[in-house]
Chains A and B, each alone.
Chain A
């Protein structure tokens, strides 16, 4: 049997998948980069604008708000990354209760962001359950209008998002920790390493690739996948207090019917996503070089 012989029939097996990707994903993605430079209401033919849409974007106060909010969300990536790490490292060796936690850890993750967004919208209302709960445990002074305070709301959104992904992070890290050789932990113990030293010297290096994946997921989530949870929890408001770049795409297209300008917003979100992927690839290259 010759080694270089191609199975040309293979194309029939990959064709349906590639067709779906090409028509319904790649083509729409590529057209964004054309429409973003045009003035277009979706009905008449698009008019080429050059860079005018981008100049407008840079002057747009809703764009400024969305960038500010995206940056605030990104500040939560360390918490997003480290919180599950501490918990996973603590329950690496099973203790009483860790089995219970593991069995429910993924429940928020498998729930729709729509369910979480609407649910927390209900729970966080002024007379909602969470304020009642705070008063019940003597923290009544903390009770507030969580989704109405402009300076607070984006932080609440970040914390609810971390709540959704926290258990996924723990289970992911535990899976990766299972692949670390137990002899490394024994060696750390013989060397008299404390819990924190063991975490830094054995656990973190051992699960580094998984942590990198989770960090990248964090940035992508906060920069480009917040729409469902924010749409249902706050609608982007009050005002522009939780307005993120994805909302610009949505509102320009479906409220203002400016599909050209909407695509300009979309190009910005693509650039953010590519930036994250580029940073990850560079990081991986540097590691391999070492």
Chain B
């Protein structure tokens, strides 16, 4: 068989796989703009007359706006401390000498392996005793504990690549560690900070176990827990479910389109080492 024929086969397979990858999401969007009749009549093709009534329904009857707002609040409240905590730790782990540095760094890396569901119930117990259960603040703390370690790991490897001479020169000029961190290190690390923010936003937006366990009342609930409970408990029709999914997926799809390179860099860093 000629090499040309092989290339054609690979091309066809690549295109088919690409289409297969996005096919479920095509069905998600297409189903979300159908009414009952057009869904029953024709499942695969887009409707001849698209309707947005499902979107109206999910916002008016299923309180999707409340959950959306809650998700945005939790995300926004997490991001600032998350960035500060992980960049400060990354700077120290990569550039400063202190006792127990290596064991502590290993501990931070190990946290990433802990399964969320296993932690979740005991975090619930702890937060119940602390009196912060069923609050957005409690969820933010859980997210900081669970997601900041990976970000700190990314920041550490980034700061390692920055020559020590920057640090030494600033020290000789009499700058303290805080001003070195704020004035020199953070600006240098801007590309990695962007990556860390994007990867963190995606992880926090998508997360289920913690928000399901820690937020118990309907008005506090975030999107993912709301969607999961919606599908489980009330027989919501396929079209409305798909409309809700589209709304929830939209921010992630936009993020993916805008920042694909940063996403790749952020999620590949854990798996490819020198």
Interface residues in chain A, defined as those with a beta carbon under 8 Å from any beta carbon in chain B: 1, 4-11, 13-14, 16-18, 20-21, 23-29, 31-32, 35, 42, 87, 90-91, 95-98, 100-101, 103-123, 125, 128-129, 132-133, 136, 163, 166-168, 171-172, 175-176, 179, 209-210, 213-214, 217, 220, 224-225, 227-228, 231-232, 235, 246, 249-250, 253-254, 259, 262-263, 266, 269-270, 273, 277
Contact status A23-B252, CB under 8 Å: no
The listed residue (B11, B99, B104, B231) touching A232 by CB distance below 8 A is: B231
Contact status B177-A23, CB under 8 Å: no
Q: Is B273 an interface residue when CB atoms closer than 8 A count as contact?
A: yes
The interface residues of chain B lying within 8 Å CB-to-CB of A259 are 121, 125
5 A-B residue pairings within 8 Å (CB atoms)? A17-B88, A24-B141, A31-B122, A97-B10, A266-B118
Given that A7-B177, A96-B11 are known contacts, is A172 also in contact with B21, CB under 8 Å in the complex? no
- Interface residue SS majority, chain A: helix
Chain A's closest residue to B146 (CB) is A25
Segment touching A, from B54-62, B189-197, B202-210? B202-210
Q: Is B188 an interface residue when CB atoms closer than 8 A count as contact?
A: no
Q: How far is the CB of A272 from chain B (nearest CB, A)?
A: 9
Q: How far is the CB of A24 from chain B (nearest CB, A)?
A: 3
Q: Is B114 an interface residue when CB atoms closer than 8 A count as contact?
A: yes
Question: What total count of A-B pairs have CB within 8 Å?
Answer: 294
Contact status A112-B104, CB under 8 Å: no
Contact status B99-A6, CB under 8 Å: yes
Contact status B97-A98, CB under 8 Å: no
Task: State A259–B46 Cα separation when bound (angstroms).
Answer: 49
The listed residue (B25, B97, B205, B272) touching A175 by CB distance below 8 A is: B272
Interface residues in chain B, defined as those with a beta carbon under 8 Å from any beta carbon in chain A: 7, 10-15, 17-18, 21-22, 24-25, 27-28, 31, 43-44, 81, 84-86, 88-89, 91-93, 96-99, 101, 104, 107-108, 111, 113-126, 128, 141-142, 144-146, 148-149, 152, 168, 177, 181, 202, 205-209, 212-213, 224, 227-228, 231-232, 238, 241-242, 245, 248-249, 252-253, 255-256, 260, 263-264, 267-268, 270-274
Task: State A163–B21 Cα separation when bound (angstroms).
Answer: 8
Chain A's closest residue to B105 (CB) is A14
Given that A111-B249, A113-B208, A122-B242 are known contacts, is A25 also in contact with B43, CB under 8 Å in the complex? no
Contact status A23-B145, CB under 8 Å: yes
Given that A119-B242, A175-B272 are known contacts, is A249 also in contact with B117, CB under 8 Å in the complex? yes
The interface residues of chain A lying within 8 Å CB-to-CB of B88 are 13-14, 16-17
The interface residues of chain B lying within 8 Å CB-to-CB of A132 are 43-44
The listed residue (A98, A111, A213, A235) touching B271 by CB distance below 8 A is: A213
Chain A's closest residue to B224 (CB) is A114
Question: Which one of A87, A119, A259 has the greatest number of beta carbons of chain B within 10 Å?
Answer: A119
The listed residue (B85, B107, B272) touching A176 by CB distance below 8 A is: B272
The interface residues of chain B lying within 8 Å CB-to-CB of A100 are 14-15, 18
Task: State A26–B85 Cα separation when bound (angstroms).
Answer: 17
The interface residues of chain B lying within 8 Å CB-to-CB of A103 are 18, 260
Task: State A25–B224 Cα separation when bound (angstroms).
Answer: 22
The listed residue (A23, A175, A270) touching B268 by CB distance below 8 A is: A175
Contact status B213-A254, CB under 8 Å: yes
The listed residue (B91, B97, B152) touching A5 by CB distance below 8 A is: B97
Contact status B108-A253, CB under 8 Å: no
Q: How far is the CB of A1 from chain B (nearest CB, A)?
A: 8
**Can you add 17 more A-B contacts, CB < 8 Å, to A23-B141, A232-B208, A269-B117?**
A1-B168, A14-B88, A14-B104, A23-B145, A28-B125, A35-B122, A104-B22, A110-B255, A111-B25, A122-B238, A167-B21, A224-B117, A232-B227, A246-B115, A246-B117, A270-B115, A273-B114
The interface residues of chain A lying within 8 Å CB-to-CB of B122 are 28-29, 31-32, 35, 263, 266
Q: How far is the CB of A148 from chain B (nearest CB, A)?
A: 15
Given that A209-B273, A224-B117 are known contacts, is A13 also in contact with B22, CB under 8 Å in the complex? no
Task: State A234–B194 Cα separation when bound (angstroms).
Answer: 36
Q: How far is the CB of B261 from chain A (nearest CB, A)?
A: 11
Task: State A6–B249 Cα separation when bound (angstroms).
Answer: 47
Given that A250-B121, A269-B117 are known contacts, is A110 also in contact with B202, CB under 8 Å in the complex? yes
Contact status B14-A119, CB under 8 Å: no
Chain A's closest residue to B269 (CB) is A175
Contact status B24-A120, CB under 8 Å: yes
The listed residue (A96, A113, A125) touching B206 by CB distance below 8 A is: A113
